[in-house]
Amino acid sequence: MPSHGQQTWDAVVIGAGPAGATAARRLSNAGASTLLLEKQSLPRYKTCGGGVPARTLQLLDGLDISPVSEGHVDTIDVSRFGRHQFRKRSSRPLAWMVMRDRFDQYLTDLAADSGATVRDSTPVQSIVENGGSYKLETPTGVAATRHILAADGATGPTARWLGIDSAPTRSAAYEVEVAAPRDALDHWHQAANVDVGYRPWGYGWVFPKDGKLSVGVVNAPGRGRSIRKSTDRYLTRLGLGDADVLKVQGHPIRYRRSASEPVARGRALLLGDAAGLADEFTAEGIAYAVHSANLATEAILHAADPASSYTRSINREIQPELNAARTISRLYYWCVTTWPWLALKTSKHFNYLWRAFFRVMRGDSTYADELGRLPGARLARSLAASA
């Protein structure tokens, strides 16, 4: 294998998830020499509900992901502790269902086709900054680069090594893939379950896949120790307590809550989960990961000061969405846990809320715009802040 030290790359991207693979593809398409490093052997399993919001396809320039899609969701079934409350349906798909090993491999293959060099089973062991460039130590040699794009997830060490790491809020998610019986697969065909009532906030989910269901729970910071029991109870309520379990895994989710939390320094940028770019209403991060990849490549290709340019772009285009989603999350979950009967009855009959959510998921609107349209938006922010 050729030594990584034979050349200085324009960019090294760490992590072959949606953020890393998208950034590598865009940089290579623009003519930048790009090395994409993945610590695991590809394709690799990734803990994730596997729901790709429809708006993500816009951020991927209309990319056709049908080769790796396992169907779509256009219906949300709302329950409280497993008891059905109501269903709401969108006129168009809200999200596409994927298994992350196939989806991420698909995006990585596109990066390779664009000219990026992809090396899997190649963890970065250390990073040294020297004179405006970086040297990354790996088991197969040293890679020198002018820019680093760190897309190594919520637990990746790159941010800490580069001195960019902050202490963003974390919550826990726990997911089980089950081989569900045919009646359950038929029941959840093109429908996702959102199970509410968890304190102080959080929800359970069911996402339908090809021949299986992804079932999980995401809960508030500090509730990680009880999340497995919550998931087991949820499976039982769904009638899936005896279903064959294919995969079980938990993972943390990071949330960037302030524009002051660093996402870049010098010529090193944090993307996606590594930067805490997930929203606190859905805990979704794929759309933000792809969006951050787009912003990062623009900063590297066109800005004299990539870190400042990228930070401004994140604070202008993504942080307002994270802030609005947090406000909506606090208000909604506070209502559901404080006045569950009234909150669910209102949610069932007040279709504006669902039309707004569907618009955001489809990319027709944003959380910030919808929050601004909500009657009493200023009061809502005040109540959310105190919840």
Q: Please give the structure tokens belonging to residue 126.
A: 């250390």
Confirm whether 57 is domain-assigned.
no
Residues 108-130: pLDDT tens digits?
A: 999 999 999 999 999 999 999 98
Looking up residue 9, the CATH number of its domain turns out to be 3.50.50.60
* Distance in angstroms (rounded) separating the CA atoms of residues 288 and 285: 5
> Does 105 lie in the same domain as 8?
yes
* Distance in angstroms (rounded) separating the CA atoms of residues 323 and 18: 23
Give the pTM.
0.93
> Does 89 lie in the same domain as 176?
yes
Output the pLDDT for position 130: 85
> Does 289 lie in the same domain as 217?
no
* Distance in angstroms (rounded) separating the CA atoms of residues 355 and 91: 10
* Distance in angstroms (rounded) separating the CA atoms of residues 66 and 13: 26
Confirm whether 53 is domain-assigned.
no
> Does 110 lie in the same domain as 94?
no
> Is 70 exceeded by the pLDDT of residue 48?
yes
* Distance in angstroms (rounded) separating the CA atoms of residues 276 and 182: 37
Confirm whether 348 is domain-assigned.
yes
> Does 294 lie in the same domain as 160?
yes
- Contact between 271 and 151 under an 8 Å Cβ cutoff? The reply is yes
Total domains, the chain: 3
Residues 75-110: pLDDT tens digits?
A: 999 999 988 999 999 999 999 999 999 999 999 999
> Does 40 lie in the same domain as 163?
yes
Is residue 217 within a helix (H) or strand (E), and if so which, with residue range?
strand 213-219
Confirm whether 324 is domain-assigned.
no
Is residue 77 within a helix (H) or strand (E), and if so which, with residue range?
strand 75-80
The neighbour count for residue 241, using CB atoms within 10 Å, is: 12
Q: Which of 266, 282, 317 is the last residue of a domain?
A: 317
> Does 229 lie in the same domain as 272?
no
> Does 108 lie in the same domain as 89?
no
Q: Please give the structure tokens belonging to residue 210.
A: 């090809």
> Does 273 lie in the same domain as 235?
no
> Does 264 lie in the same domain as 153?
yes
User: Among 192, 195, 151, 139, which residue's Cα sits nearest to residue 36?
Assistant: 151
Residues 330-371: pLDDT tens digits?
A: 889 999 999 999 999 999 998 888 999 999 999 999 999 999
Structural domain for 350, as ranges: 330-386
Identity of the amino acid at 176:
V
31: which residues sit within 8 A by CB, 6+ positions away? none
> Does 360 lie in the same domain as 216?
no
Confirm whether 60 is domain-assigned.
no
* Distance in angstroms (rounded) separating the CA atoms of residues 48 and 285: 10
> Does 225 lie in the same domain as 177?
yes
Confirm whether 288 is domain-assigned.
yes
Alpha helices (H) in the chain, listed in sequence order: 18-29, 55-59, 100-113, 158-161, 182-187, 227-237, 286-302, 306-317, 319-338, 340-349, 351-362, 367-373, 377-386
